[in-house]
Amino acid sequence: MNESDPLKNELAALSETLDQLLKTVQRMDEENRSLRHSQEQLATERAGLLARNEQARSRVEAMIQRLKSLENQG
């Protein structure tokens, strides 16, 4: 029985370590999913902002062309 006590203690310690590792993996998995979701949202937002920026630039360029045209006519 004395020989099994250290073995039981070691198994209990290993089991505890394994439980802690599993909890850490689960937490990291959840964090990873959350970060990927945030990254997707930011990429979508960035694409929208780039599109809006391009639209604004096109409008400004069109206004400049109209002003130049008016200047040449007058």
The residue assigned the tokens 């007058």 is 74
Q: Mind listing the pLDDT tens digit for each residue in 4-50?
A: 799 999 999 999 999 999 999 999 999 999 999 999 999 999 999 99
Please give the pLDDT value at position 74: 74
Task: Say if residue 1's pLDDT is above 60.
Answer: no
Whether pLDDT at 53 is above 90 = yes
Buried b (16+ CB within 10 A) or exposed e, 23-61: eeeeeeeeeeeeeeeeeeeeeeeeeeeeeeeeeeeeeee
Token pair in block for residue 20: 């802690």
Binned at pLDDT 50, 70 and 90, residue 3 comes out as low
Tell me what pLDDT residue 4 has. 75
